[in-house]
Structure 1
Amino acid sequence: MMATGGRRRSSESDELELGSSGESEEEMEDSSEDDQENEAEIQRLEEQLSISAYDYNCHVDLIKLLRQEGELEKLRSARQKMSELFPLTEELWLDWLKDEIRMAEKASDRENVYELFEKAIKDYICPEIWLEYAQYSIGGIGQQGGIEKARGIFDRALTAVGLHMTKGVAIWEAFREFENAILGTLQPSAGSILTPEQQEMVNAQLDRIHKLFKRQLGVPLLDMETTYAEYEEWADEPDEFVTQVYKKAQQQMEKRKPYEENLLAADPPKLAEYQAYIDFEVKDGDPARIQIIFERALSENCLVPDLWARLTLYLDRQLKIKDLVVSAHERAVRNCPWIVGLWKRYLLALERHQAEHKIIIETFEKALNAGFIQATDYVELWQAFLDYLRRRVNFSQDSSQELEELRSAFSRGVDYLKQDIEQRFGESGDPSCTILQNWARIEARLCKNIQKARELWDRIMTKGNATYANMWLEYYNLERAHGDPQHCRKALHRAVQCTTDYPEHVCDMLLAFERLEGSLEDWDLAVEKTETRLNRVNQQRTKAAEKEALLTKQEEEKNVQRKKGRSEKKAAKRAQKQALPGDKRKADQEEWGAQIDQPNKKPRAGELEEAEEEDMSAECGLFGRENNTRILETPALQKQKAAAAARNKVLHDNSKDDLTVFVSNLSYSIANPEERLKEVFESFGHITDIRPVYSNRGLFRGYCYVEFQEEKAAADALRLDRQELEGRPMFVSPCVDKAKNPEFKVLLLESVMIILFF
């Protein structure tokens, strides 16, 4: 009996029957408590997704719980919502499809399953999903046109994954089994004779199977010798042409076999091995094989933007097939939505293949909500979109709907960067006002509206750009090309007064302009203004140089004093070591008494080194023995002890790489790294050890090793990568033996650069 929401509930009589069959009340209570906990967790996950819809792991956890609880309607809704935001993995799709297949009873339900299969095959090129799709279609051959529909799906599957060297053979064999089953239905019963029409149907079916063998044997696949042996047994006398095709395909397979062996031996995600395989196929030049190796690589490296960029670039320049190109771009931005370059290429591809204006607008709006990681990404996106709108305008007309749309978009873009982006990132991302500059050029050159261009440049200069020579020269060039000499002269005079970075350059430009355009009075005024400005600049530079020289001299004097002070301290220590043992003991007692009198007194910065050395001397004793007298530990001594302990401790055992994660970019000020990181990581599994790394002075260096008891816990802990901990993004990465994986050095260097920027 199905209750609302799809969960199966037992009636009271059922519960009594279950209880009488051996289920104790305690077990039933435990089960009820588990149900309540799961319901609470489901509610929590749903609330979390209402706040942050792009939380991938939250979607996965919710789907897992709903499937476990049997909440079928909620489960279907959760899967649909996730599929709208993210491409689903092969495992998620297969679970969804199998659940829907089990529930499909009516003809309309079967159509819904077909639609779901069509969505699934668009996310990734997955042989398992295609095989499931083809086998499901066989179940509908009893309906009208069912056989042809199943054949069509098998043919599409062969086109999509039939070239897969290791998994494509399953599709080929399933297709041949399907055709052989149809042939069996056409064979006559014992003792009967076929009519001419029936014999024609049998011959046609035999021809289909023969063509399938021919097609398959022409494709380089692993273990293709077995397929050829089946063909020899089936055909009695193999066709000579088929044999030649088979031998040629076998040669191609041998060329690719080393790459396949490298993939089998490598650990996921096998990016380097796939890159080498892609290079080989691109050089070989077969478009179909290039696509299939790209798809295989992306199935394991779907979050590598460069791989998507390389695929889409190849399709844009080589194949130029609309459906194929646009689909690849759409999948690229679904997998890596935070990469602005993929969105820009997507917009260009849509325009290149003459997509509807409405679709391009919708794609741009999706890109704005993609969540880029820096302000400049939004500037690039707006520029790409504005370029598209500009190409739609016919500027031979004084006014048009496209021109007004372009101006409206420019205005919206400027406001968006000023309001939304500055609030989010604390910067505009466009300090040079490149969008306003482009708008001004379009108004001046294409719209012949120099007055509007001057208004835009006035906005640019009021945004803090009036002190830069290059900005004034940009405006001057615009006036020179589309304005008049009066405004050119005015711009250069203002540039001379305002420029602070390269005043000589704008002064030269003003004089050069007056040589060509000005009268004697204009020349005299220009000379007077430039000389006055340059004299003032030289005075300012002289004062700045004098101030710099004074600061340098003061710093040198301080360095001399510090060196002198260190020398005096060293001399005093040498004299102290030469004193009698009784004198030394007396000095130690006096120091002990002073520390008792002032227990909270801390050594000053200049005394820190001295205090540390004295502590070590007291600890070791005057003659190298351990002193039994209790010694007050200074902060320097405590740090030194911690550093010594860290040096004596093995930081990491390479044999435990699979059990360990490397955590970096942590705050140096964490008081107790072991306890703090235990709180963060203990939810993933039992932690056997946490090993922070300290400097020689006992200071925490911001990274450590966290070792788990199980490999799964270490793998799950990687999900905390980039999560904030005490105001800093925490980097969580797998431990890699650099001797076995040289490419890790490059990745490590990139991580260090990221840490430095943070």
Structure 2
Amino acid sequence: TKDPWWDPGRGCVMNGKNSAESNMRSYLALSHISFLLHLCVTPQLSINAFDYNCHVDLIKLLKQEGELFRLRKARQKMSELFPLTEEIWLDWLKDEIRLTEEEPNREKVYELFERAVKDYICPDIWLEYAQYSIGGMGSPGGIDRVRSIFERAVTAVGLHMTKGQMVWEAYREFENAILSTMVAETPKLAEYQAYIDFELKEGDPARIQITFERALSENCLVPDMWAKYTIYLDRQLKFKDLVLSTHERAVRNCPWTMGLWKSYLLALERHGADHQTVSDVFEKALNAGFIQATDYVEIWQAYLDYLRRRVDFKSSKELEELRAAFSRSLDYMKHDVEERFGESGDPSCIIMQIWARIEALHCKNMQKARELWDSIMTKGNAKYANMWLEYYNLERSYGDSIHCRKALHRAVQCTSDYPEHVCDVLLSFERVEGSLEDWDFAVQKTETRLNRINEQRAKAAEKEANLARQEDERAEQRRKAKVEKKAQKKVQKGTRAGEKRKAEQDDYQDEWNEDAGEIDCLWTSPQGNEDNPELRNDNSSVFVSNLAYTLEEPEAKLRTLFETCGPIKQIRPIFTGKGSFRGYGYVQFESPVSVPEALKLDRRDVEGRPVFVSPCVDKNKNPDFKVFKYNTMMEKHKIFISGLPFSCTKEQLAEICKNHGTVKEVRLVTYRSGKPKGLAYVEFADETQASQAVLKLDGIEVEGNKISVAISNPPRRNATDKPGSSRPTGDAMPRQVYGARGKGRTQLSMLPRSLHRQSAPAGKVENGSAADGEPASAAGNAAGEPKQLSNSDFAKMLLNM
């Protein structure tokens, strides 16, 4: 301590001599410190571990010496015995932060901060804690952790008089930084919709309104967004000025959307707008240029409903205005709508039906109601049973039994879709109100009508069966001719037996149905020495075909396709003698329960081709074993679309159809090569949605192609005759009459196109029945038999295909 370079208060003091001497003196000074630690402080702590000042001195000396790891132990020991001051904690935390900068684990520092904030209420420690956590916000859950620490900090020290505002300022700056990254680019429509749904659940009107306004300022041409906003205002806020102004903005931004005009008319009526204002808005709607004929029917219905609600049926002024509006709507539908769209927007005459009910119910004017129904029936509705029953119910409610009986007799005579139903209603009516003569006359008339209809159906079914049998025979002849021709060609070239089996396999593939998707056969394996009989007959295997011959690594591709169905035991793709892939193979699973899952992958796209998956069936033992995969009865919840552009995808078609109901499935029909046919089937949630889709989609243009839409009514197909069985004759049960699309190609069993010309065209079919009472199919000639063809004729046809 007497050395000139040592000061007890300041430690080492250099006296200006050379650097070597200074370094030596520094080293000696540090040695003195270490000596003092061992000589003074450490023995004292060993005597009294609760000497607070000794702990503080030891920490100061170790920090001056730079012994960070010993310093950590000293601080740890002191914190176990005493709460540490803010200065000691901050020094410790900063040292630990420096030590863990290169360590991947930040959790040790978080644990130390948690211990620090428990000793005293220290704003600086909380601020340091929050700022340190910001450095880890990039890790999973990092932002949530920062927010949680800031929330705890403002709760603990936010009210501190001198330093609490620092925590608040830091919290605000953090949230501003996060917000700036979130709104750096304009939110998309889907993000706005999710935001709106969130705010609707929270229920704050001010936040909901401003969110809608923000979304609409950037998506002003989205009708669904306007509709959602106006519905919220109509049902929740209900402020007149706000509601009506928003409706007006909606129709100005999206004038082509009928639903917005309809909602606007209802809102005007709901808030007591004057009659002239409502009428002016309706006239603007008529000139808005809707895209569908049915839109004009709906807007007229909305306006007519408004006029009906304001009528006092004891006064003639409003009633005459209502009748004039009904009359004008019919003229508008007949001239303006039909001339513009080429079709009637109201084929079922809904507006006239409403007018008739109003005349019968409110005006007690059955004469006018009957005149309206006569007009409805003359517009092509007399063949529908439901239209006659609607008129009959009106007569039952407001008319008399004489007109009820007359309506039912006309229904029995005219109905062509469900004549049995109207016959039952007539007989039930006569049971309740008719005399014996009335009953006898009704029975005679219904029996005569039903007998005539059954005869027509039987004739149509018989001719259909004959035609199908002729088609099957021609297909068989064509198949045999091709087999013989190919066999002769192979023999002449001296091909091996394996290549001959390939020709037979090609013949089987030619027989497979490539129809629009209504009917599907169980694909069977070809016979050959290279096939494994255990795979063909195993109930744990499936047969896979229609793969591309150029498919690389077919075994790996098949494994990838079927590995989700269950554990695979063996995959066997079939190759030719030259090593080229034949386009089919077998997949054997470890358990039969995997087979149903594998069959669900039928028609799955593999490199642009639909792959065919079927059970393994020995064709020698089951030569005619086929099943229908798809329903062959009328599917009222599905629609059939034809005329689609080949570029149309499932997603595009689903987008077109979703506005008319809930789309459950979309199936595009393709050839075996994967090329589209321009046909599709769309399944809706129920029959009503499918019917609406037919009305609104039939005849519209998709990418320049005018499409045709109808209810799915796949025709049946005669099953191949089994041994010991015979074809059905005219005495058998009548087959299903073709639907509105006529006879589908799915009923042709590989019939060459040339043979289509041998048969007379089928008669016009309407609603599943032949027009004018004729059957829906025609025979090949007057004698009902096709022209017999020779082998040379078949050869010419094959060359022309």
TM over 0.5: no
User: What TM-score do you get using the length of structure 1 for normalisation?
Assistant: 0.43
Higher normalized helix content (fraction of residues) = 1
- Structure with bigger RCO (C-alpha 8 Å, 6+ apart): 2
The structure with the largest alpha-carbon Rg is 2
